[in-house]
Amino acid sequence: MEDGNDEMLFIIIHQAYELWFKQILFELDLVRNIFIRGMINDNSDDMSRVVHRLKRVVKILELINQQVNVLETMTALDFLEFRNHLLPASGFQSKQFRLIEAKLGLKMEQRYKAEYYKHTRRGSLSEADSQEVNQVESESTLKGLIVQWLERMPFFDDGYWQDYKQSSAADDGKHQFWTDYRDAYQTSLSNNEKGRLSEFDKVFFDEGRGDVSPAAMRSALFITIYRNLPIFHLPFELLNTLSEIDELLSNWRYRHFMMVRRMIGIRVGTGGTSGAGYLEGTLSQHYAFREITEVATFLIERSKRPQLPNALKEKVSFNVP
């Protein structure tokens, strides 16, 4: 090698990433600790802190996506000069990256090629790191806490709905609002999408979606449709930011995968995976907030939304004396 600058760049980039991963973990812990308290007071600054800190995570993810450009100034031939000296080290050993995924709410059974994660040979996580990740997975994840928070939404308490003007025939078991919404959704579907109606029932009434319950899915949809109402501004920002985090992490996975293909083609990874093939697989599967993002499937146009009763509108508006 003429000089060691590429190897130095490789080391520095990895260390810079790990530092940012650490900051992300601090922010995720702060947010989780707020939700763990079980009650988020609308009059406190809890909700704005949650959104503010998650937006910081978004900014960090935007930054670390950019850093791939710097590493890509190294060519495949430059990398080959020192690749063998790295063996058996791999990005697969990044405990912090796994902790970020686990704290967000990605579960082992949702991982692409989950068997790769179960061994602790050289190039993988150590036994102790692996146990720590498993432990975090079993604790309150951000996703689990968000689901509980959505389930606690009080907007369907009977008291708010007495002056509601229903537009469709009552359907036993469903709140009248949802019967009306379901009708409007059905009308909005084109002929080749009619099957979506049974999906709607499944997601919002029978089973939920993924590991998000029907009640939580209903709240996520309600907040999304009526996001213009003052009390929903921050909850909507929160849901939107979670989708943004998923999207930016997946952008990173994509940039990393493309870079890996440029650097080592389709050779196997030093961490014992198939390499680029494995990374491409994670791209389609590793999302923490997919269900929240895919609420978009069930939206209707603003003008078709059921009119909310006044009692509820008052409850969700700022009441400045």
- Measured from the CB atom, the residue of 83 and 305 that comes closer to ligand HEM is 83
User: What is the rounded distance in angstroms from the CA atom of residue 14 to the CA atom of residue 80?
Assistant: 17
H/E segment holding residue 80: helix 76-86
Rounded least distance, CB 64 to ligand HEM, Å: 8
Rounded least distance, CB 133 to ligand HEM, Å: 12
- Measured from the CB atom, the residue of 113 and 194 that comes closer to ligand HEM is 113
- Measured from the CB atom, the residue of 24 and 238 that comes closer to ligand HEM is 24
CA distances from residue 107 to 78, 99, 103, 117 in whole angstroms, order as listed: 37, 11, 10, 11
Helical ranges in 75-213 per DSSP H: 76-86, 95-104, 127-138, 142-151, 176-188, 196-201
DSSP 43: T
Which residues fall within 8 angstroms of residue 223, CB to CB, at 6 or more apart? Answer: 153, 232, 235, 236, 239
Rounded least distance, CB 87 to ligand HEM, Å: 10
User: What is the rounded distance in angstroms from the CA atom of residue 113 to the CA atom of residue 285?
Assistant: 10
**Count of helices and strands (H, E) across the chain:** 13, 0
- Measured from the CB atom, the residue of 36 and 76 that comes closer to ligand HEM is 76
Rounded least distance, CB 90 to ligand HEM, Å: 3
- Measured from the CB atom, the residue of 87 and 170 that comes closer to ligand HEM is 87
Rounded least distance, CB 256 to ligand HEM, Å: 6
Rounded least distance, CB 112 to ligand HEM, Å: 8
Could you give the count of Cα atoms lying within 13 Å of 270 in the half-sphere of its Cβ? Answer: 18
Q: Which residues here bind ligand HEM, judged by CB under 6 A?
A: 13-14, 17, 71, 79, 90-92, 94, 97, 256, 260, 263-264, 269-273, 275, 278-279, 282
For residue 213, give both structure tokens: 């319950």
Strands (E) located in the chain: none
- Measured from the CB atom, the residue of 68 and 184 that comes closer to ligand HEM is 68
